[in-house]
């Protein structure tokens, strides 16, 4: 049995992405691709440290709008699997962070979507010093709130799994 299947990761990865964020507290997200081009992602930090987040955006899910997060670093080697139907984002915890992630579909700009990183209805506890404003891309600064988002992702019965 392949290693991903043993971990209940039932997808084939077809694209690898690599990003560099130079200043600490650069925030990317919350991103997803809509059907029919949804993406499962397997994320790891290969240089530096990030706080990585997944938000359940599956319509009808009992955990809709809830999030899980984990620190991923080159030192700890941890990875986070983000299934289709979850928005993904991260904040860098130090300068010069490199993030590598595998995707189950290629990038499709017409299916690109996002939710605001600071949506109070989601309430992500981003680990940034008090008074610190994250470095945002213009795209991430204007994403819609969850309340203004009509999710195309159906609930598939899988619970929002706790992080071990």
Q: Is residue 160 part of a domain?
A: no
- Domain residue limits at 38: 13-148
Q: Is residue 137 part of a domain?
A: yes
Among this protein's residues, is 107 annotated catalytic?
no
pLDDT in tens, 117-157: 999 999 999 999 999 999 999 999 999 999 999 999 999 88
pLDDT in tens, 54-108: 999 999 999 999 999 999 999 999 999 999 999 999 999 999 999 999 999 999 9
How many CB atoms lie under 10 A from the CB of residue 145? Answer: 13
Could you tell me which residues come within 8 angstroms of residue 18 by beta carbon, excluding any fewer than 6 positions away? 46, 98, 99, 100
Q: Is residue 138 part of a domain?
A: yes
Q: Is residue 158 part of a domain?
A: no
- Strand pairing partners for 52? 70, 90
Q: Is residue 156 part of a domain?
A: no
E strands within the chain? 15-21, 27-33, 41-47, 49-56, 67-73, 79-82, 86-92, 97-103, 112-114
Note the residue count of the chain. 164
pLDDT band at 163 (very low <50, low <70, confident <90, very high): low
Query: What are the structure tokens assigned to 42, written together?
Result: 């397997």
Counting the structural domains of the chain, the total is 1
Q: Is residue 162 part of a domain?
A: no
Question: At 77, which CATH number?
Answer: 2.60.120.10
Catalytic residue among 18, 31, 64, 78: 31
pLDDT at 29 over 70: yes
Dihedral angle sign, alpha carbons of residues 141, 25, 54, 124: negative
Q: Is residue 54 part of a domain?
A: yes
How far apart CA 71 and CA 25 sit, in angstroms, is 13
Q: Is residue 1 part of a domain?
A: no
- The SS3 of residue 78 is coil
Catalytic residue among 64, 78, 88, 101: 101
């Amino acid at each position: 049995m392949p290693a991903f299947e043993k971990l209940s990761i039932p997808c084939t990865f077809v694209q690898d992405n690599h990003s560099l964020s130079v200043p600490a507290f650069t925030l990317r997200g919350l991103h997803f691709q809509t059907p029919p081009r949804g993406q499962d992602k397997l994320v790891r930090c290969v240089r530096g440290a990030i706080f990585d987040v997944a938000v359940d955006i599956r319509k009808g899910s009992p955990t809709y709008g809830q999030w899980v997060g984990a620190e991923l670093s080159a030192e700890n080697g941890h990875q986070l699997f983000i299934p289709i139907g979850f928005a993904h984002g991260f904040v860098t915890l130090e300068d010069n962070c490199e993030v590598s992630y595998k995707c189950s579909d290629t990038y499709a700009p017409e299916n690109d979507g996002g939710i605001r990183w600071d949506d109070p209805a989601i309430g992500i506890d981003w680990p940034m010093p008090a008074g610190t404003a994250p470095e945002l891309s213009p795209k991430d600064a204007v994403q819609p709130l969850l309340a203004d988002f009509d999710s195309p992702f159906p609930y598939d019965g899988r619970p929002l799994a706790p992080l071990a």
